[in-house]
Amino acid sequence: MSVELLMNITPSETRVALIEGGTLQELHIERQASKGIVGNIYKGKVSRVLPGMQAAFVDIGLEKAAFLHASDIIPHTETLPQTEKAKFKVADISELVRQGQDIMVQVVKDPLGTKGARLTTDITVPSRYLVFMPGSPHVGVSQRIESAKERLRLKLITQSCLGDLGGFIIRTAAEGAPENELVNDAAFLLRLWRKVLTRKQRTNTKNKLLYRDLGLEFRIIRDFVGSEIERVRIDSKLTFAELKEFSKDFVPELRNKIEYYPGESPIFDLFDVENEVQRALDRKVELKSGGYLIIDQTEAMTTVDINTGAFVGHRNLEETIFNTNIEATQAIARQLRLRNLGGIIILDFIDMKSAEHRRRVFTSLEQALAKDRVKTNINDFSPLGLIEMTRKRTQESLEHLFCTDCVECNGRGYVKTVETVCYEVLREILRVNRAYNVEKFVVYTSVAVAEALLGDESHNLGELILFMSKEVDVHAEPLYGQEQFDVVMI
């Protein structure tokens, strides 16, 4: 099955689509406005030591000095037993740092209000399966990996990758991972840390940043090291050049697979990605046979209900139900990945009398979920005919990312956020501009979206106007709903 990545890069957001066999399977989104600095590593300078607070303020090049508490200046203890950890006592801050001292730190909490960022010297750098711990000679294994045999296998593989730079923690996601992927992860982290150390020697007083937690496009490339990706297509020349350089240093096995996409039509039109994303926000998912799924997200869990719908089959009712359930297993696995649903998930399959049919449906679901890179746990059919499962939360679901509570229905439904509609308007203008030779555009949209386009999002609209060298007028229509807009050519 062909596998490729499509990257749509704009100043306001980055979107990455994973395509398998010509069908959208995963969508990853990162918006510039919501990016933080957690995970960034800086070469800071202690600007003030406060013994009374057992803390110090550190200048890392931000508007406000960052905060470093004495308890955050500790050696790596992640791999030690509790009895050993208890021996480490927090020393007096005056014994740990002094004013004017250079110190390497990592951000663990973003600045908030009048408070600066929270720092630690206990630096860790994560990858897909491993976490690198500079200066630590140990290899630790996540406690959530329960199999003693698997823990030993993972530890032996990772110990063979140890050098003099530090040790590793094996993450829960590494359970069952092939040896070559673990080795690739370790090699990536060691190359990355050598780069950090080189920058530390060259860092001047103005630029204190040693390592920025990777942007989405780079994290995706990192996480797919060793996977069966055939090619990566990017619609931004700048990002293409950056990724080629990044892959040269850190993931050379993917370097020749990265391509620039110069096409006139938007890159997400190649596999109907935009329409697939819109369909991923619907409650109802149609099956090819005529059956359908109903997917509902609640605060506590996500429920999936399977129905035969218009599918009547060709033999008998039991066979019709079985075939619908089998088809539903593939659709469910895809929807969980595409919508990025996590937490507790309840699957309400159509009742089956045959134990053999239940066994085959459960096996089909297990096989379909095996393709998911996010960890899942599945329980067999309950006495009520339900399958209970969990899927690790990695980020917000599409519904929570794209939608907000609807003020029209007091939270009983969802509408797209003003920000999301603004980006759709900008993409539609760009799409029409590529397709037709026009001099001016007029956008009719809701009052809230119009205010955003002329206010908070005016810089994005302005960049688009400069890029096209065309005029764009925005008109607010009081009767338009929040998701409604029209782009008129003049």
- pLDDT tens-digit profile of 326-374? 999 999 999 999 999 999 999 999 999 999 999 999 999 999 998 888 8
The backbone region for 149, taken as left when phi is positive above 0, alpha when psi lies in -120 to 50, beta otherwise, is: alpha
Q: Which domains does the chain have, with CATH numbers?
A: 3-35+215-273 (3.30.420.60), 41-211 (2.40.50.140), 280-398 (3.40.630), 417-489 (3.40.1260.20)
Q: Which residues pair with 56 in a beta bridge?
A: 49, 68
119-123, 181-185, 375-379: which has the minimum mean pLDDT?
181-185
The pLDDT-based confidence of 90 (bands split at 50, 70, 90) is low
**404 membership: H or E segment, kind and range:** strand 403-405
Tens digits of residue pLDDT in 201-249: 876 656 688 988 788 898 888 777 656 789 999 999 999 999 999 888 7
Strands (E), 407-489: 414-416, 440-445, 471-476, 485-489
Which amino acid type is present at position 110?
D
Which two structure tokens, joined as six digits, stand for 63?
A: 């508007």
Q: Which residues pair with 3 in a beta bridge?
A: 20
Spacing of C-alpha 162 from chain mean position: 28
Tens digits of residue pLDDT in 263-315: 889 999 989 999 999 999 999 999 988 899 999 998 889 999 999 876 665 56
Could you tell me where the DSSP H helices lie in 301-354?
317-339
Question: Does pLDDT of 412 surpass 80?
Answer: no
Report the percent of the chain where pLDDT is more than 90. Answer: 55
Which two structure tokens, joined as six digits, stand for 69?
A: 């508490």
Say if residues 169 and 79 touch (Cβ distance below 8 Å).
yes
Question: Does pLDDT of 85 surpass 60?
Answer: no
What was the pLDDT predicted at 109?
Answer: 83
What was the pLDDT predicted at 159?
Answer: 92
Dihedral angle of Cα 452, 456, 462, 465, to the nearest 10 degrees: -20
d(CA 186, CA 125): 11
Taking residues 1-18, what's their average pLDDT? 92
Say if residues 358 and 352 touch (Cβ distance below 8 Å).
yes
d(CA 180, CA 298): 39
What was the pLDDT predicted at 489?
Answer: 92
**Mean pLDDT over each residue of the chain, to the nearest integer:** 88
Taking residues 174-199, what's their average pLDDT? 88
Candidates 455, 417, 467, 460; CA nearest to 476 is: 455
Which two structure tokens, joined as six digits, stand for 101?
A: 């001292």
Tens digits of residue pLDDT in 35-59: 778 889 999 999 999 998 899 999 9
